[in-house]
Amino acid sequence: DAGVIQSPRHEVTEMGQEVTLRCKPISGHNSLFWYRQTMMRGLELLIYFNNNVPIDDSGMPEDRFSAKMPNASFSTLKIQPSEPRDSAVYFCASTSQWTSSHEQFFGPGTRLTVL
Amino acid sequence: DAKTTQPPSMDCAEGRAANLPCNHSTISGNEYVYWYRQIHSQGPQYIIHGLKNNETNEMASLIITEDRKSSTLILPHATLRDTAVYYCIVRVGAGNTGKLIFGQGTTLQVKP
């Protein structure tokens, strides 16, 4: 099992540019979560999907952020336009309704730097 | 949402048991306690969870007080590789759509 796959692993961009982060959940998992981690705010849940449908996006900081899950094996988190304060590590996690623990499996993260 | 309180840091000698405390005094009757850890800058990793009873798996043991207002994660024989930030979380919501609200966690330093 390859685990949760995120790309790119590192992204450096300039303020105002569009950034797209990608996530492939573990095959068979039906819930997907996007988190952001900074020194100041720790790990924050941004949005999560169940069966490809967004369930709770209350953690999305503002309209510059959007997330999609067009199918069960792919999700994107887009920031447009990006700002320096968006610099953080973005994690994607997935879980399955069939596991009794409902543990979330996290990907390696994407380290985003906005200059 | 139920909040958790953890000490910011702890030390433990290699080979000894590490006992990490957590307070969750506002936990509701159907809310689970989860523990995750994050090693360096990797993604968080699930350790264990419980509702009322004590739990044990290959990684750790979880002791939950009878009133459920606090719990302790026990790593029976800590190794240097257990150095990490440990998060105690009360999961909000049921099933696989339950939300994990991470706090600041406890940084455990295992020393030789």
Cβ distance of A43 and B44 shorter than 8 Å: yes
Checking if the pLDDT of B33 tops 90, the result is: yes
Q: What six digits make up the tokens of B38?
A: 């994050």
Per-residue pLDDT 10s for chain A (115 aa) are 689 999 999 999 999 999 999 999 999 999 999 999 999 999 999 999 999 999 999 999 889 999 999 999 999 999 999 999 999 999 999 999 887 788 999 999 999 999 9
How far apart, in whole angstroms, are the C-alpha atoms of residue B11 and residue B109? 5
- Chains A, B: CB contacts within 8 A come to 58
Confirm if A79 and A64 have CB atoms less than 8 A apart: yes
How far apart, in whole angstroms, are the C-alpha atoms of residue B33 and residue B27? 9
Instruction: Check if A50 contacts B (Cβ < 8 Å).
Output: yes
Of A35, A102, A111, which has the smallest distance from its Cβ to B96's Cβ? A102
Instruction: Give B76-94 pLDDT, tens digit per residue.
Output: 999 999 999 999 999 877 6
Cβ distance of B43 and A108 shorter than 8 Å: yes
